[in-house]
Structure 1
Amino acid sequence: MLLKKYVKTRRKFKILLLVAIVALIIITSAILLGASGPSSAVERLLDERFIARAYQPQSEQQQQQPREQAVGLLQSRRENGVIVPEKYDEQKIKSRIMQSRLQQLKQQQQRDNEAEQTRTTLDTVATAVHIFYTAPVQWYKSKKSPLPAPEHPNEVSLPLTTSKPVKVLNTIFYPALGLYKPSAKLLAEHFENIRSCGIGVLILSFARPSDPALLQQILELAPQHNLSVTFELSVTAGNRSVELVRQQLHDISAYVQQPGFYRVWSQSHKALMPVLYISNAYKLSESLGRQLCRARENEKHKENAVGLRQLLDAFFIGHIRLKSHADVMRRLCFDGFYSKLPSNGAVFASTWKNWSYLKSFALSYKMLFVPTVGPGYAERNKFPRHGDIQRHRSNGRYYGVAWRTAILNHVGFINIASYNNWPDGSQIEEVVPRAGFLDYNPGSKTKYLDLTAHWVGNFLKTRQEAAAAVAPQICYELLNNTIC
């Protein structure tokens, strides 16, 4: 009504509308000029208060600095009114990454040193826990060098001379002691590490030709570290004959009576008997294997008795792979059998879930089943022999499951795949990080020595509890180094 009262003509209405438009233009111009004035020193592309808090230093002295310094970090350099981006300096980036990596390595080394000072060790030595020890280690293997490529596609390249084999480092881990050779100092350090894990027996490979001086040195050094030594004979295509096996037993008989050789008390035979492992025992023929059977009382004094036990009566443990091999060991008069390969699922004997069956079979025929545990299996540049036998260590979990399964089956012996079998990647010896090689990270270089000490302690505790539950008149296998 008021508009109609004061605006009675179209001309007055146009004047009023024009005045309103001019006033709106003036107000808008004033706002825009105020926003672009000299008081706005920072481009308001982001919330300045949030940026100030994000870049605010954390120390008390730096918190007192003016907020303008924190906001100033967002001010871009300009040339002729154009924002100039920062230069990308690749050398500075690489230098910063290298410094960060060196800092991480220093921190890791400090943690490793602290872990070594607080290593898990056992004062008790378990003679029922055996470990394979390699001396000397075959660090290199021979590999044929490739033929040169022909110059033309249709030509066939024929070598003028026989190509020489190339030596290749045969390990996927790198040892902390380097590519060592056996020496008195090195053996003493190894034996002390093994003893601190609670392991009581070393298993040495006895192959001909062997190094008698090295074997004698090990047999003399081992008792100084409260360790015993036994041998593993190997049955291959070249030594399956009775004469070769007899010769090996004859050579071993010279070491059996030494103080450092491992022997157990047999209640059934009322005597101390050595323990011997035989690799690939399932390959033995029936005629050769049956010579391991003990002679009857009426045959012991006959001149024509040719049994191998007449030469060396020992506690023979044979290597098996398949389910049927356990029965082969029974027919060949072996006293027990072991799995040897620390690769779960590769063969029947090395599969953890089959250990309960093998333990039951051994009990049925008064034999011993010896499972082999290992931290993993990793061969370098090698074709699988029995399918895929590579096993990842899984940060120690693979080793733990193997130990736990063996302990729950209440076995008498447990042997560990190796202390230093580097070509198979089953070692528990210390390693160091090195380009192109695996390591034990996350963890110290003594990680698997500590885990071994932990599981040996659990094994001893379980054995003592099981022996306490057995009636005193019943013999518990291998308790107090005794075989029933």
Structure 2
Amino acid sequence: MESLGHDSGGIELFPERGNDLQMEGDKNNKPDDTKLIRLAQVEKDTELEGILRKFPPPNYYLHAFYYIWFGNPKFDGKYVHWDHLQLPHWDSKVAQGYPQGRHIPPDDIGSNFYPSLGAYSSKDPSVLQAHMQQLRTAAIGVIAVSWYPPDSKDDNGEPLDDIVPLLLEVAHKYHIKVAFHIEPYKGRDEVNMYTNVKYIIDKYGEHPAFFKYQTNNGKLLPLFYVYDSYLMNSEQWAKLLKHTESGSIRDTPYDAIFIALLVEEKHKRDILTAGFDGLYTYFATNGFSYGSTQRNWASIKSFCEDNNLIFIPSVGPGYIDTSIRPWNFQNTRNRINGKYYETSLSAALETKPDFISITSFNEWHEGTQIETAIPKKGQVVYLDYLPNRPTIYLEITRKWAAIFGGERRKWQE
């Protein structure tokens, strides 16, 4: 425990370090500069602690999918992702009936809703801070950040890995943990998956905001969500994930909890034979896939229990992606002023899941965001959260985070 040393200038939290700073100040004949800096930091930290006390406690079993692929001219030299393409339908005859081309931000963005923060950049520290405050308002403990290797990017974006250090720093201030949601980067296979997991753990694994989970056998391990895991066959995954394989990541310093995406029913067996530790369902559209159909969750959960797999159902507030897939209206799910979200959260809770994942905090293109949105008038017509407040989906999340926390304690008694 640090002792508090007093002098004429205020409180020194780290006396030894303070003396070094003081000596340096004396040399420059500016003895008060360092003291002022230190005092300012103490005040800043005290102010932050005051802010944090106003939030509900974070639930570390509630994970939100989080995207850092947004950019704007101020921070990135151009708009990134907000200018998303309107994707053509695969049938050229159908495609002719729908608009194509790019959106033109800031008034015309690739989303059916408009963010309170405008067409923001994921590199903007004030945006990250606002996001952490929203996440804490919602009592979310973990964000699963969409991740590509440093030399990769998605079709509409730029490389993202250089944003992660700042994200971890800001998340840590708000006591939020960061897990990684590994995207299907080009050429993904079992060999470069090992390399990339090693890269993430070597680079970020010691950061206090890096999410680790204590397994049943007492090991503290990172958790990775693997998006579109079915694109690789189970034999390939087994080389990485089975203890018996020579190139396995198991029982190495890079072992982790690997969560596969369940889309079709047959993927259950594949996930098991591949050596994954669990599964998640991602899609916020009830009925879109076998995995995202809520009436299937009870049987998926019992399959997981029988095979010692972690079950992580994914819930969302609604779905609409017609700003980027104008022809995809059949997958739209109306938010019904929060009823769709509450029904989904209730369905997830009924299965007594290990974790619940939220699709999403800010996937604006697919209209699954719980981030605050505002009404916007102009040439482009946007949906909004009226008659509710911009924070409605954060408030619903907070309510269910508390219910989930209470239920979890009961299940463990």
TM range (shorter): 0.7 to 0.9
Per-residue deviation at 1:367? 0.5
How far apart in 2 are the matches of 1:286 and 1:339?
18
Aligned to 1:197: 138
How far apart in 2 are the matches of 1:404 and 1:416?
13
Per-residue deviation at 1:445? 1.1
Q: Contact 1:125 / 1:199 at 8 angstroms: preserved in 2? A: yes
Which residue identity does 1:127 align to in structure 2? Y
Q: Contact 1:133 / 1:418 at 8 angstroms: preserved in 2? A: yes
Which residue identity does 2:260 align to in structure 1? G
How far apart in 1 are the matches of 2:162 and 2:116?
26
Question: How many equivalent residue pairs?
Answer: 321
Provide TM-score, normalisation by structure 1. Answer: 0.63
How far apart in 1 are the matches of 2:331 and 2:221?
35
Helix, strand or coil for the counterpart of 2:400? helix
**Gaps (5+ residues) in structure 2?**
1-53, 71-80, 89-99, 153-158
1:235 aligns with 2:184: yes
* From 107, 128, 138, the counterpart of 1:187: 128
Per-residue deviation at 1:207? 0.8
Q: Residues 217-366 of structure 1: matches in 2 within 5 Å?
A: 217-235=166-184, 238-254=186-202, 255-268=204-217, 270-295=218-243, 305-309=246-250, 310=252, 312-366=254-308
**What CA deviation, in whole Å up to 9, does each residue of 1:47-83 have, x standing for no partner?**
xxxxxxxxxxxxxxxxxxxxxxxxxxxxxxxxxxxxx
Identity within the alignment, %: 28
Which residue identity does 1:142 align to in structure 2? L
Helix, strand or coil for the counterpart of 1:420? coil
When residues 384 and 176 of structure 1 are mapped into structure 2, their CA distance, relative to the original with a 3 A threshold, is closer
How far apart in 2 are the matches of 1:166 and 1:354?
37
Per-residue deviation at 1:197? 1.4
* From 406, 410, 413, the counterpart of 2:352: 410
Q: Contact 1:374 / 1:426 at 8 angstroms: preserved in 2? A: yes
1:176 aligns with 2:109: no
When residues 166 and 403 of structure 1 are mapped into structure 2, their CA distance, relative to the original with a 3 A threshold, is closer
**What CA deviation, in whole Å up to 9, does each residue of 1:134-172 have, x standing for no partner?**
113221113599xxxxxxxxxxxxxxxxxx964442100
Per-residue deviation at 1:220? 1.4
Which residue identity does 2:198 align to in structure 1? H
How far apart in 1 are the matches of 2:58 and 2:171?
13
When residues 385 and 417 of structure 1 are mapped into structure 2, their CA distance, relative to the original with a 3 A threshold, is farther
When residues 385 and 166 of structure 1 are mapped into structure 2, their CA distance, relative to the original with a 3 A threshold, is closer
How far apart in 2 are the matches of 1:463 and 1:248?
33
Q: Residues 111-126 of structure 1: matches in 2 within 5 Å?
A: 123-126=56-59
**Gaps (5+ residues) in structure 1?**
1-120, 146-163, 300-304, 469-484
Aligned to 1:134: 67
* From 326, 329, 337, the counterpart of 1:395: 337
When residues 432 and 381 of structure 1 are mapped into structure 2, their CA distance, relative to the original with a 3 A threshold, is closer
**What CA deviation, in whole Å up to 9, does each residue of 1:194-221 have, x standing for no partner?**
0121110011111133333310111111
Helix, strand or coil for the counterpart of 1:308? coil
Report the aligned-residue RMSD. 2.3
When residues 217 and 354 of structure 1 are mapped into structure 2, their CA distance, relative to the original with a 3 A threshold, is same
How far apart in 2 are the matches of 1:285 and 1:144?
28
Which residue identity does 1:133 align to in structure 2? Y
Provide TM-score, normalisation by structure 2. Answer: 0.73
How far apart in 2 are the matches of 1:283 and 1:405?
28
**What CA deviation, in whole Å up to 9, does each residue of 1:404-451 have, x standing for no partner?**
011111111000001111111000111111131000111111111111
**What CA deviation, in whole Å up to 9, does each residue of 1:104-148 have, x standing for no partner?**
xxxxxxxxxxxxxxxxx8522111000011113221113599xxx
Per-residue deviation at 1:260? 1.1
